Amino acid sequence: MVLQPVPALHPAPSDAATRRQLPIYLRADELGGRIGAELEATGKTELRHAGIVIRADELRYDQAEDLAVAQGHVRISFQGTVVRSPEVQLQVQRAEGFALTPDYEIAQTGGGGTAERVDFLGESRARVTRADYTTCSREGGQTPDWLITADTLHLDTESGIGVAEGAKLHFFGWPVLVLPQMSFPLNDQRKSGWLAPTTTLTTRSGLTLAVPYYWDIAPNRDATLTPAVSTRRGFEIDSEFRYLEPSFAGAANLALLPYDHVADRTRWWATLGHEGRLPGEMRYSVAAERVSDDQWWTDFPRRHVSLTPRLLPLVAQAERDFGDPDDRLRLYARTQRWQVLQAPNVMDAPFDRSAQFGLSGQGTLAAGLQYAIETEANRFQLPSDPGYVAPQTTPSDGLRMHLLGRISRPWREPGWWITPNLLLNAAAYNTDEPMSNGRTTGSRVIPTASLGAGMEFERPADFFGRALLQTLEPRLLYVYTPHVAQLQYPKFDSAIKDYSFASIFSENAFSGIDRVSDSNALTAGLTTRLLDAATGAELLQLGIVQRYLFTDQRITDTGVPDQRGYSDVLLRGSTNLLQPLNLEAYLRWSPSGNEFERAIVGLQYAPAPFRVLNLTYRYARDVTSQYELSWQWPLYEPGGRRPARNANASCRSAWYTVGRINYNNNDSRVTDSIVGVEYDAGCWTARLGASRWSTGVNQTNTQLIFQLELNGLSRAGTNAMTVLRENIPGYRLLNEGRNPSPGSAFYD
């Protein structure tokens, strides 16, 4: 039996007493001394104990004192920290000692530095005297681009915090920040303190300087308070509070301008997202966003959480499930109200649901029958905003009760499937004002029968010398719904569905409850795909679908019967066969008008990391025609990029250009755009750009973007990364995989 050395260390036990009981391993070219007293090792010596590794030319270990004295090219590593020194003394089991004139590295950040002395205060703590710190390369004796110098540096890898006393931050040799004390993260753990300042420059607010303070209240609660001052609007305080409790969790935001000098009034923005559980397996949630005035979204267009910035929701609901997962009922109550921002122009808004009570369920019956049911009572009210004008055919307020039901019997076998369905849509109304027929009450019941079927064929294929699998997938859906007059009833929540591949294979052309399209129609579609035979990855997809009407459809969104006998043709396709090109297209063709009604065509060229080019064209007849170009591309990148995981690897600086331009062909103008450059120096990154977006027909807002990121330390300036990620598909951080900043530095 021969023992084989294992250079990789397993994680040491977390308990200190257990670690001290672990054995000490010592090996070298030559070993001498007395067992139980002092051992001497020379020539490639290595001592290992509970995650600590010491390598040196010479090493003496006093077993009685538990003292190791290493000399000559000493390298000691533990808890992700590596120290190199000509001489180290260490009490091994207590991990206490010192190193003279050391170099050190911190694995969590990829940074390190030099010092006069390092005192080890345990396995996770160290005190560094006359130290400096950087993540920049020092190869060839080059001066780091940025450097922190400190009289004393306290490192705690367990808490993930480094504290520098008498600290100076140098950038290209210039002291840009001098503080009596500064702390910075060694990982992504949280700590209370001031974060790096942020700056924003926009045409509507001027220059804004914000200095966030992060408060680590408890392991399950934190808050961020951000005082800010704007050259145009004055003082502002922004706050965020997050909490996570055993039975509830959520987050709240509040931004307050006590006095906006431009608007000449107090302004605010507030959000709340809360979820929780009550006794009896009851769940509840609240989601709300509110602002002080209609002009908020134009002055601060990027400060909102709602998908529609002019339509802000307030939703509160409670629900409880009954039964098992296969046959489950859900009882719920909900209220939903909207704040409609009627500026710069008046817009329609959905009805408020002041009260909503419902019961829904689904499950399996005998003989493979499946069912789904939903019944609700809703109280609808018009928004209270005085700018909202309701259509004359719509009553102001009303009560609706409805019942939706579905029974189906699916059959599915390899290569084919078929599903017959029976559906029911029943609704009863009680309105505060007379409907178009002069009555305040009414009801109707609308049945629907449908039959869906499809097949899936496969065959091997070979294109471009590549083994592929080709599929052919025909699909049919027949729907019969009798005509039931509905114009006299209000339209509280119904709208025509967007005509797409998903909606065309549905029984009702309308969403919501109040409108059900009459139908005697067959929808036929065909899809073919090319799949990689080895991995199953989709390389190409082509599809076509059209609906054929056997009788005229009388219930339409315009009120004019559809007498064409057929619908528009939908075509879609996507392929990445010709890597690195990716192509996607969606087309809607009108046979009666012999023209395209809608088209979306997108092309992405991504030959390598940090190289992406996107081109998209969007067209809707008589509505819009837009071109969108976005990119991330090197301007100057000598010698290629550095190794992905080495933050200190030597490299030459690289320049990249980024941007997105949206051009409206109808108005012959650029509606939204962002253009900028990024500079990657290896250990720091700078981003500079300008963003312009429309907030109305003749209103725009422009923002100057600047961000400086010192890898492993902090980011300062505008939050450029969020803007770039949201606007450029395929965008990647230049320091991705190279120990980017785990957070922001804290200034005490």
Q: Please tell me the distance from the alpha carbon of residue 297 to that of residue 232, in angstroms, as a whole number.
A: 17
In the chain, what is the straight-line distance between the N-terminal and C-terminal CA atoms, in Å? 59
Q: What is the pLDDT of residues 69-81, one digit of tens each?
A: 999 899 988 777 8
- Which is it for strands 198-202 and 248-260: parallel, antiparallel or unpaired? unpaired
Average pLDDT of span 575-583? 91
74 touches 84 (CB < 8 A): yes
Q: What is the pLDDT of residues 345-387, one digit of tens each?
A: 777 778 999 999 999 999 998 889 999 999 999 999 987 654 5
Answer yes or no: is pLDDT of 248 > 50: yes
For 221, other C-beta atoms within 10 Å of its C-beta total 13
The 10 Å CB-count burial string (b at 16+, else e) for 272-297 is bbbebeeeeeeebbbbbbebbebbbb
Q: What is the pLDDT of residues 503-525, one digit of tens each?
A: 999 999 999 999 999 999 999 99
The pLDDT of residue 538 is 92
For 614, other C-beta atoms within 10 Å of its C-beta total 20
Answer yes or no: is pLDDT of 20 > 70: no
Answer yes or no: pTM beyond 0.85: no
464, burial (CB in 10 Å: exposed 0-12, middle 13-18, buried 19+): exposed
- The helices-and-strands tally (H runs, E runs) of the chain is 4, 48
SS3 722: helix
The pLDDT of residue 540 is 94
Mean pLDDT estimate for the chain: 87
Radius of gyration of the chain (CA): 34
The domain spans of the chain are: 16-188
| Domain at 16-188, CATH from 3.20.10.10, 3.60.15.10, 3.40.50.720, 2.60.450.10 | 2.60.450.10
Q: What is the pLDDT of residues 522-570, one digit of tens each?
A: 999 999 999 998 888 999 999 999 999 999 999 998 888 988 899 999 9
Cis previous bond, 634, omega within 30 = no
Q: Please tell me the distance from the alpha carbon of residue 606 to that of residue 612, in angstroms, as a whole number.
A: 4
Write 56-65 long-range contacts (CB < 8 A, 24+). Answer: 56/88, 59/26, 59/28, 60/33, 61/24, 61/26, 61/92, 62/37, 62/38, 63/35, 63/36, 63/37, 63/38, 63/39, 64/36, 64/37, 65/91
Average pLDDT of span 240-254? 96
The pLDDT of residue 231 is 94
Q: Please tell me the distance from the alpha carbon of residue 261 to that of residue 235, in angstroms, as a whole number.
A: 9
Average pLDDT of span 7-21? 55
